[in-house]
Structure 1
Amino acid sequence: MSHDRGDSPTPPSLADALSAAAQNSGFGKVAPGETPTAGALLGAMGGVRGIVESLLPGFVFVVVYAITQETLPSVLIPAAIAVLFVLVRLVTRTPVVPALVGLLGIAVSAALAIFSGDAKENFVLGFWLNGAYVVGLLVSLLARWPVIGIIVGLLRGEGTAWRADKAKYRIAFVTTVLWTCMFAARLAVQVPLYYADQTQLLGGAKLIMGLPLYAATLWVTWLLVRAVYAKGAAAASGPGVHG
């Protein structure tokens, strides 16, 4: 018996998968080449709900630890709040993955703190993640494939053409360095506080250097990328023809 393969769905290519991942990231909420807006930046952070889900558990940790100086309530109450976020998303039929990812991170961090008996261990996972980002970004720079350029290329559907444009490549390199510095700055500030047993200050530093610093870095990246892409679009259009 012969089989008609023409009706079989074509599996997505690696480029399609990477493009979809870029669209679903925070960068996918902003449009390179377009004028930055507060609304788009808010969307990149997950909206008001995303901001609350990102900041509230950490804020509660700092408050509870400042009051009790106890590890258990300081990590369990934020974990309970993260579970509540997941349940609310399930009930309201909104995408649950962001809340699940947040819950997983909080749960692992809480487990480290509980098993060690020291609240400051709640921050160790974040150190490893930031360190991994620094290493990954540095590798991309050394390989001359800056990550920001790859992401912008996927979002704009231009593949790797940006590497042949000196201005675009330069901005991709500079903005990737910017993100590397952001993650490195977190480690430079927070790791010394960890070893100095300054748990409350560490919690406050993580809050300030978390979503607010991410938003500021994304905004600057957007401005820089927009400048080079807007200039390229203007050059491509050329002078208008007047009759």
Structure 2
Amino acid sequence: MVQAGGVSTSTDSLADLLGGRRGALDATVPPVAFALGWLLSGQVIGWGAGAAVVAAGAVAVWRTSRGEKVTAVLGGLAAVVVGALVALYTGRAEDFFLLQLLSNTASALAWALSTLVRWPFLGIVVGLLLRQRTRWRKDPDLLRAYCRTSWVWTATYVLRVVVFGLLWWSGQVVALTVARVALSWPLVALAVGISAWLVPRSLPADHPGFLHPRVPGEQRPEGGGPAAG
């Protein structure tokens, strides 16, 4: 854990903000419940859909009791309900995962576009965590490092799209469930680890680090702390 301008942050915070452990239950429990309900009922989609919604409701209650934001909790619940309704409507169990396939496709495109226009999402997220506003973008070296590292995150979404897409196309419900679990928190943790390694190595040797954006024409305060932004 590090300190930046009186604000405590860590790679755990980054992981949570980008869909890490806080979203792990949403990513794992409802899909597993769907697959179990579907299998144990003799592949009846209604049972799988019902099990998923009940499981998502239980997760929502648990998350709310822990003081998590209601909007985030309801968002996770709504995604499960929509997935269940889609599967019921089409009569294809694999369509329960269609929303995830589409959302990851949109995320892959958004991350790639943000990097191409030099407003990398990784810089935005880290800047938000550190309360740096957009000072990081005024540092050419730091901007380049965030752009380079944002491609790692883009790759995670592309990987999900490829895996989910192939399994969805072939109707592999159980394999989709396994992939949904494996490519949630573990993949986010891997991306955070790579980012923590890659960002400092993408900066010049004399750079003070991502905690201290080096803005041209800005005088650093005494003690080496970050300038007010």
Letter paired with 2:93: A
Query: How far off its partner does 1:197 sit?
Result: 1.5
Aligned to 1:61: 34
Question: Is the Cα contact below 8 Å between 1:137 and 1:180 reproduced in 2?
Answer: yes
User: Does 2:136 align with 1:189?
Assistant: no
Question: Is the Cα contact below 8 Å between 2:123 and 2:146 reproduced in 1?
Answer: yes
- Aligned ranges 1:225-236 → 2 under 5 Å: 225=199, 231=209
Q: What is the count of residue pairs matched by the alignment?
A: 211
Which one has the largest radius of gyration?
A: 1
Stretch of structure 1 that moved more, 76-85 or 57-66: 57-66
From 111, 114, 121, the equivalent of 1:137 is 111
Question: Is the Cα contact below 8 Å between 1:130 and 1:184 reproduced in 2?
Answer: yes
CA distance in structure 2 between the aligned counterparts of 1:115 and 1:57, rounded to whole angstroms: 18
User: Does 2:78 align with 1:108?
Assistant: no
CA distance in structure 1 between the aligned counterparts of 2:102 and 2:52, rounded to whole angstroms: 20
**Secondary structure, aligned partner of 1:73:** helix
If the length of structure 2 is used for normalisation, what is the TM-score? 0.74
From 168, 171, 175, the equivalent of 2:145 is 171
Query: How far off its partner does 1:70 sit?
Result: 2.0
Question: Is the Cα contact below 8 Å between 1:120 and 1:194 reproduced in 2?
Answer: yes
Aligned to 2:217: none
Stretch of structure 1 that moved more, 78-87 or 155-164: 155-164
If the length of structure 1 is used for normalisation, what is the TM-score? 0.70
- Aligned ranges 1:115-130 → 2 under 5 Å: 115-130=89-104
Query: How far off its partner does 1:43 sit?
Result: 5.8
- Aligned ranges 1:18-97 → 2 under 5 Å: 51-67=24-40, 68-88=42-62, 95-97=69-71
Structure 1 gaps, min length 5: 1-28
Question: Is the Cα contact below 8 Å between 1:138 and 1:180 reproduced in 2?
Answer: yes
Aligned to 1:8: none
Question: Is the Cα contact below 8 Å between 2:33 and 2:55 reproduced in 1?
Answer: no
Query: How far off its partner does 1:222 sit?
Result: 3.6
Question: Is the Cα contact below 8 Å between 1:65 and 1:200 reproduced in 2?
Answer: no
Aligned to 1:154: 128
Structure 2 gaps, min length 5: 215-219, 225-229
Distance 1:151 1:129, change over 3 A: same
CA distance in structure 2 between the aligned counterparts of 1:78 and 1:117, rounded to whole angstroms: 16
Distance 1:32 1:230, change over 3 A: farther
Query: How far off its partner does 1:173 sit?
Result: 0.6
Equivalent pairs: percent with the same residue?
Answer: 28
Query: What is the aligned-residue RMSD (CA, Å)?
Result: 3.7
Question: Is the Cα contact below 8 Å between 2:120 and 2:150 reproduced in 1?
Answer: yes
CA distance in structure 2 between the aligned counterparts of 1:103 and 1:59, rounded to whole angstroms: 15
Q: Which has the higher helix share?
A: 1
Distance 1:30 1:75, change over 3 A: farther
User: Does 2:180 align with 1:206?
Assistant: yes
> Could you give the per-residue CA deviations for residues 34-68 of structure 1, whole angstroms, max 9, x where no partner exists?
8956x657865899775434421122223333333
CA distance in structure 2 between the aligned counterparts of 1:44 and 1:30, rounded to whole angstroms: 17
Question: Is the Cα contact below 8 Å between 2:94 and 2:168 reproduced in 1?
Answer: yes
